[in-house]
A and B are shown apart, each in its own frame.
Chain A
Amino acid sequence: MSNSQKILISLIISSFWGLISNIVLGVFFILLIGSTIQFNYFSYIISSSIITLLIVFYDRKSLQIYISLFILTFILILIFTGLSPYGLNINENSFLQILFLLIQSFIILIGNIICLSGINKMSFNRLFLEILFIRVLKGFGFTFFLTIVLFPFYVMILMSLKTHQLLILNPLDLSIDITRGLNMFRSYIELFTDWGFGYYLLNSLIVSLSSIFIALIFAIPGAYAVARFNFPGKLLMINSILLIYLIPMITLLIPLYSFFTFINLRDSLFGLIIVYPAVTIPVAIYMLQGYFQTIPQELEEAGLVDGLSRTGVILKITLPLSLPAIASVSLFIFMVAWNEYLFAYMFLDTPAIFTLPRGLEQLDGTEVPRQHLMAGSVIATVPVIAVFLWAERYLTGGLTAGGIKG
């Protein structure tokens, strides 16, 4: 590959990293300090280009070289932006400015190194160009996806720690003022003391756990029968499980609303505790029967020969072996019951029995400051994400098998 080709490619890739790092980190920086900044795209592109040319033409790999390149990037940006990387005086928010600049230098350096690795060994052809293009695309992809996924949650958390006056004064200023100490969590405390979020949390917990319990009690025998026995109508049963899965919740709403009004089940947690298991049971059966089939039948037959009853076999042999499947089914039901909004909204009228989604909806309808809304959202979101992240390591099948609903 000729030197001019190398220079051209290096310049294109370095411009990309200079630009994108500036925009993304600039936006997060604005939210953290809350004031206008300048985007010195050009200075970043130039610094990035110089570093890139160094990487390509001084092609040595060692930690010392990388560290010195990192420091060099940092210094170059400072010089080209005239000591104010974000158009601010370096004296204000100096800690954050330097922190962000360090992160940015790191991203520019790593992005360029990864994208251009092996450039000196390759020949200039379609394969090389495509590989290069894919690398840049991937860099952009990670930046893009992480930004769109994390941004709402980032704002949710930062905003819940602010006060009303500050948010009205400058809606972009989401900086965390550590000097406020425990006062930062005032909106959380107020939600629990004045808005009954303690009850909502408890109700949501009761509904979710009962739903898991009831759904499992009904689904386990059903799934076992489907997995182990041959009986007339079995195929019909398996097919209808899949079809029930596709029935719109909204077509059940009006009949269930009417029916539950007649039998006085509306406006009670009990109503929800019947509905949530019923709509998750088909999925639960489908997931469980698949797992039961993987358990060798000989194990159960041995149990039967040793004098266990069928129930005994299920309780003592099948279930202990199916714990991973039962855990992922439980996770699925928990997520459905914890997040469910439509039926909670239509069925519950009395604030004392609201679940979290219903309580949050009620809060959204009143003239409540937005940091309370955000704090409420955090309270509703954290448990389900925590449970999910904790359980996810053990079970990946849970989400794929049951995840379509919703």
Chain B
Amino acid sequence: MGSSSYKKRMGPIEKQGVVQAYTMLVPTVAIVMAIVLFPLIANFWISFKDVTVSDLRIAEIKVTEKFQKKPKTKGDISKVEYRFNNFSKSSNIKNVNFKDILPKGLVIKELPNNCSISDNIINCQLGDFKPKEKKKLKFETIAENDYFISQENPKDTSPIVKGKSENRLLNLELKLKNFEEIFTSPNFWKTIRISFAYSLFSAIGSLTLGILAAQLLMTTFIGRGIIRGIFLFPYIAPIIAVTITWKILTDPFFGTINGILTQLQILNEPISFLQVRDMTINFIGFEFSFPVALSFVILFESWRYFPLAMIFILARLQSVPKELFEAAEIDGATPFQKFRSITWPLILGVLFVLFLLRFIWTFNKFDDIFLLTGGAAGTKTLTVDVYETGFNIGNLGTGAANAVLVFLILVFAAIFIIRFSPKE
């Protein structure tokens, strides 16, 4: 039976299979949709909105209640005052409705137009509140006999205010303001340049180290498994623990690395590797400025992710029959010839996939730079910018627009790299 006819004419058992498959997939797809795909789309939406972190708190009306001239005998007149305040700086609150229970025996002298009363419950329509708008509601009451029996205070019951506060994230007001802000920022191209340099060189660095480490582990020797495990440490340790350690190691005053380098007389004076933006270096008469912090962060990335490249390359090399290498050896191939003619073509495909993934993942990476330098000293990448505009400045919309940029650049970079990839 051909596979095409199998697909076209499904018998009852296959149909039952489809139903079963969908039932099994629904919960899984639903959770991934809710936590991954929905936010991705929502991020595009937010990038067109002018919202700040404070807009996330849903606007509410605060009420204060005053009861003046407490009645002492029947017929005394007292004043009740409610003050309403919309504290939100940006949100309108519409159709505000107010309810409160008055104590028995307090009769309202003159009911305001927008209010009604039934069974001692006063119900008022307060209309719309603009941002920061305050309103007052005042009336006088006359005490009757019942009041002195129960002796309730109007303040005993807390008033209920309900209004439709608009959620600024959900209204239809879409603007291009956030993107304008990003593209007109004087640091825009610099951030892009830094992000690309960081991702490109980190990917190359980790791949280079990975190839070398894989070469070391290709030979069999006692304790190979242990050394392989040790080589993976940088990759499996928590990012926060290794960044703290590297920060302490490179500290200019009490740091171990600076101490050793000055001790070995490689450095004359300590360098604050993570805080210095540029250093002028004089090399055979040419002066050029060298980005210290950025280079260090790239070295850190290469250090942290080389084990991953190593594992993949090793897996590829070990899937090849050993005879291939042995045959070459018998034919008198030197180690470099073996590497160039056997190993390199074998791992080229893996290297390409790894490069693509490493590039994309470094471009997406936020934690590493944020924890090492906080984006200071010329290391601010686009992802750090997402955090800074979104949460430090508090402009969620601009942050989301930055995130959209990260996503789009990534899509284009991936297409570009795949287009110019070696065919395999």
Min CB gap B70→A, angstroms: 40
Does B213 belong to the interface (CB within 8 Å)?
Answer: yes
What chain A residues lie within 8 Å of B231 (beta carbons)?
145, 149
A400-B237 in contact (CB<8A): no
Known: A250-B366, A285-B28. A335 touches B236 (CB 8 A): yes
Interface bits B222-250 vs A (CB < 8 Å: 1, else 0): 00010101111111111111101110110
Min CB gap A388→B, angstroms: 5
Pick from B227, B242, B260, B403: contact of A254, CB under 8 Å:
B403
Interface bits A325-338 vs B (CB < 8 Å: 1, else 0): 00000000001001
Pick from A36, A141, A376: contact of B216, CB under 8 Å:
A141
Known: A259-B39, A279-B36. A360 touches B403 (CB 8 A): no
Known: A145-B216, A231-B18, A384-B236. A221 touches B24 (CB 8 A): yes
What chain A residues lie within 8 Å of B58 (beta carbons)?
262
What chain B residues lie within 8 Å of A237 (beta carbons)?
25, 29
Pick from A27, A230, A232, A281: contact of B31, CB under 8 Å:
A281
B263-A36 in contact (CB<8A): yes
| Count of interface residues, chain A, beta-carbon cutoff 8 Å | 102
Pick from A127, A392, A400, A406: contact of B361, CB under 8 Å:
A406
Interface bits B334-357 vs A (CB < 8 Å: 1, else 0): 111000000000000000000001
Q: Which of B17, B31, B40 has the most chain A CB atoms inside 10 A of its CB?
A: B31
A27 to B260, CA, bound (A): 7
Taking CB as reference atom, which chain A residue is nearest B29? Answer: A222
A224 to B31, CA, bound (A): 17
Known: A127-B332, A250-B386, A403-B308. A222 touches B24 (CB 8 A): yes
A341 to B372, CA, bound (A): 13
A290 to B177, CA, bound (A): 46
B35-A256 in contact (CB<8A): yes
Pick from B240, B334, B410: contact of A131, CB under 8 Å:
B334
A149-B18 in contact (CB<8A): no
Pick from B42, B225, B248, B386: contact of A159, CB under 8 Å:
B248
B259-A246 in contact (CB<8A): no
A285 to B31, CA, bound (A): 13
A262 to B42, CA, bound (A): 14
Pick from A234, A254, A389, A406: contact of B396, CB under 8 Å:
A254
Q: Main SS of chain B's interface residues?
A: helix
Interface bits A150-176 vs B (CB < 8 Å: 1, else 0): 101101100100000001100110100
B17-A381 in contact (CB<8A): no
What chain A residues lie within 8 Å of B43 (beta carbons)?
251-252, 254-255
Does A202 belong to the interface (CB within 8 Å)?
Answer: no
What chain A residues lie within 8 Å of B22 (beta carbons)?
225, 231
Interface bits A134-148 vs B (CB < 8 Å: 1, else 0): 100010011001101
Interface bits A26-64 vs B (CB < 8 Å: 1, else 0): 010011000010010000000000000000000000000
A342 to B167, CA, bound (A): 26
Known: A39-B264, A254-B390, A388-B236. A141 touches B215 (CB 8 A): yes
Does A377 belong to the interface (CB within 8 Å)?
Answer: yes
A228 to B407, CA, bound (A): 34
A172-B256 in contact (CB<8A): yes
Taking CB as reference atom, which chain A residue is nearest B213? Answer: A145
Min CB gap B284→A, angstroms: 25
A261-B56 in contact (CB<8A): yes
Does B330 belong to the interface (CB within 8 Å)?
Answer: no
A122 to B142, CA, bound (A): 118
| CB-contacts of A167-198 with B (<8 A) | 167-168, 171-172, 174
A106 to B215, CA, bound (A): 24
Known: A251-B403, A251-B407, A357-B240. A146 touches B230 (CB 8 A): yes
| CB-contacts of A262-314 with B (<8 A) | 262, 274-275, 277-279, 281-282, 285, 310
Pick from B235, B256, B336, B357: contact of A155, CB under 8 Å:
B256
What chain B residues lie within 8 Å of A231 (beta carbons)?
17-18, 21-22
Known: A229-B18, A392-B229. A171 touches B32 (CB 8 A): no
A374-B245 in contact (CB<8A): yes
A152 to B281, CA, bound (A): 28
Name 7 A/B residue pairs within 8 A (Cβ), A-sorted.
Answer: A138-B216, A146-B227, A153-B237, A174-B256, A222-B29, A254-B386, A406-B361
Residues of A near any B CB (own CB < 8 A): 23, 27, 30-31, 36, 39, 126-127, 130-131, 133-134, 138, 141-142, 145-146, 148-150, 152-153, 155-156, 159, 167-168, 171-172, 174, 218-219, 221-222, 224-226, 228-232, 234, 237, 244, 246-259, 261-262, 274-275, 277-279, 281-282, 285, 310, 335, 338-339, 341-342, 346, 356-357, 360-361, 364, 370, 373-374, 376-378, 380-381, 384-385, 388-389, 392-393, 396, 399-400, 403-406
Besides A155-B249, A230-B14, 9 other A-B contacts (C-beta < 8 A): A130-B334, A225-B21, A229-B21, A246-B360, A248-B363, A251-B39, A254-B386, A279-B35, A405-B361
